[in-house]
Amino acid sequence: VDVDRIGLDRLRNGTFSECARNEGEAATVVPFLAREDHEASDLIRPLDRFPFVPDDAGRLDQDCYEAFNIQVQGLMRRMTATGARSLVIGVSGGLDSTQALLVACRAFDRLDLPRTGILAYTMPGFATSDGTKSNAWALMTALGVTGAEIDIRPAAEQMFKDIGHPYAEGRPVHDITFENVQAGLRTDYLFRLANQNKAFVLGTGDLSELALGWATYGVGDHMSHYNVNGGVAKTLIRHLIRWVAAGDLIGGEARETLHAILDTEISPELVPAKDGVIQSTEGTVGPYALNDFFLFYLSRFGMNPSKVAFLAHQAWGDAGAGEWPANTPEDEKVEYDLATIKGWLRKFLIRFFQTAQFKRSALPNGPKVVTGGSLSPRGDWRAPSDGSARVWLDELEANVPD
């Protein structure tokens, strides 16, 4: 029995005390003896590797149904409230923009609006691969939206020249400015296209990216008029796309392309490949499977980092133990030792508590979807933008061996 978790849950959930007050003497007190082990031991109870993705196939189907329809209903409500009949979205050929586009198509269908009112743009940059670009076009074509392409490289080159960036002189400097010029231009184009077409910009960034601050602030992928993915964890988005592909909500023409997108490595594609190796998101911020695990137990319960590390090792220490969610590919069934978990948790704590809050303090609206809660400043998470991660880092270092 995890007494600590029960206590933390009661701090966040008022139903227990309300029930006790309402029931009064009718409540039954059950005495029992408890002991506390001073030496770490393995858990007896099973522990989900993916807190946002149930292992049971029936529950996963239900969760995908509910999550997808919450997203759809949220977008429908925003369109009804604003009187909008079209929207603008950037389609990269990656997971997040794919999920947002699927939600948009379903919302338009439910509102009896033609999908041609979805103005989808793919905007290749200096590192856009042929694979993601072709997937973006195949998806837009299969879904019957209005697709177009804007090459952002000429505008980016002009900006590099204007600000005196070394790349304008032919030097291969691929720094954060090089990346953010591209991300910023894409969003800038989308906002101006929305103005021109009396539409609004649909955001694509997900909950996991908000936790990590993995977004270009301001006029970048951080901003939109409405973000349907802001309450959905990356690990769940993978299964949502699989769920849509297996059903018939948006038509079967896109099914093959959806599976191709699922098989593509996650990358912002802002820096050209080096020696055939593309820019890897998870190589920089860590595996999303671990980051989503950290996020759930830190934000939902407020557990100490050392306990989160222990639970993560129990869940991820042995790939052959326990159950995996339905349809999980074999190459995604991996395991992590405690040292690896501690290393990525250390980076997560710095990003989550110290460097990313200022982005979350200025988020666009979006629906709350998953059980773990929302990171919106208008929802479940409010924190100072100039906070320090030191107290969490010290606790991790003191109580988790290397």
For 101, 149, 237, the CA distances from 104, given in Å and listed in that order, are 5, 19, 15
Is 48 part of a structural domain of the chain? no
Three-class secondary structure of residue 120 per DSSP:
strand
For residue 37, pLDDT over 70 is answered with no
Averaged pLDDT, 370-395:
91
For residue 16, pLDDT over 80 is answered with no
Give the domain extent around 186: 3-39+54-324+333-399
Residue 101 to residue 103: CA distance in whole angstroms: 5
Taking phi first (over 0 means left), then psi (-120 to 50 degrees means alpha), and beta for anything else, what does residue 326 get?
beta
Confidence of residue 402 (pLDDT cuts 50, 70, 90): confident
Orientation of helix 95-110 relative to helix 57-82, angle to 10°: 60
Average pLDDT, the chain: 93
For 224, 233, 280, 338, the CA distances from 153, given in Å and listed in that order, are 22, 31, 21, 43
Is 379 part of a structural domain of the chain? yes
Is 32 part of a structural domain of the chain? yes
| Site of tokens 């910009």 | 201
15-29, 36-50, 283-297: the lowest-pLDDT one: 15-29
**Looking at residue 19, what is its pLDDT?**
80
Nearest C-alpha neighbor of 135 from the set 45, 259, 312, 52: 259
Confidence of residue 169 (pLDDT cuts 50, 70, 90): very high
* Tokens at 186, concatenated: 């894409």
329-371 pLDDT per residue, tens = 898 999 999 999 999 999 999 999 999 999 999 999 999 998 8
Count of structural domains within the chain: 1
**Looking at residue 38, what is its pLDDT?**
67
132-153 pLDDT per residue, tens = 999 999 999 999 999 999 999 9
Q: What percent of the chain has pLDDT over 70?
A: 98
Three-class secondary structure of residue 79 per DSSP:
helix
The answer to whether the beta carbons of residues 289 and 174 sit under 8 Å apart is no
51-104 pLDDT per residue, tens = 999 999 999 999 999 999 999 999 999 999 999 999 999 999 999 999 999 999
Residue 243 to residue 239: CA distance in whole angstroms: 6
106-127 pLDDT per residue, tens = 999 999 999 999 999 999 999 9
For residue 36, pLDDT over 90 is answered with no
The Cα angle at residue 314 between residues 308 and 318, in degrees rounded to 5: 135
Residue 225 to residue 82: CA distance in whole angstroms: 11
Is 343 part of a structural domain of the chain? yes
Is 44 part of a structural domain of the chain? no
Residue 205 to residue 229: CA distance in whole angstroms: 6
Is 240 part of a structural domain of the chain? yes
For residue 374, pLDDT over 90 is answered with no
**Looking at residue 44, what is its pLDDT?**
87
**Looking at residue 398, what is its pLDDT?**
97
**Looking at residue 57, what is its pLDDT?**
92
Report the DSSP beta bridge partners of residue 203. 227
Is 261 part of a structural domain of the chain? yes
Averaged pLDDT, 200-208:
97
Whole-structure pTM value: 0.93
pLDDT higher at 95 or 322: 95
Is 299 part of a structural domain of the chain? yes
236-284 pLDDT per residue, tens = 999 999 999 999 888 889 999 999 999 999 999 999 988 888 899 999 9
Nearest C-alpha neighbor of 215 from the set 195, 200, 194, 229: 229
For residue 377, pLDDT over 70 is answered with yes
Confidence of residue 200 (pLDDT cuts 50, 70, 90): very high
Q: What CATH number is given to the structural domain containing 371?
A: 3.40.50.620
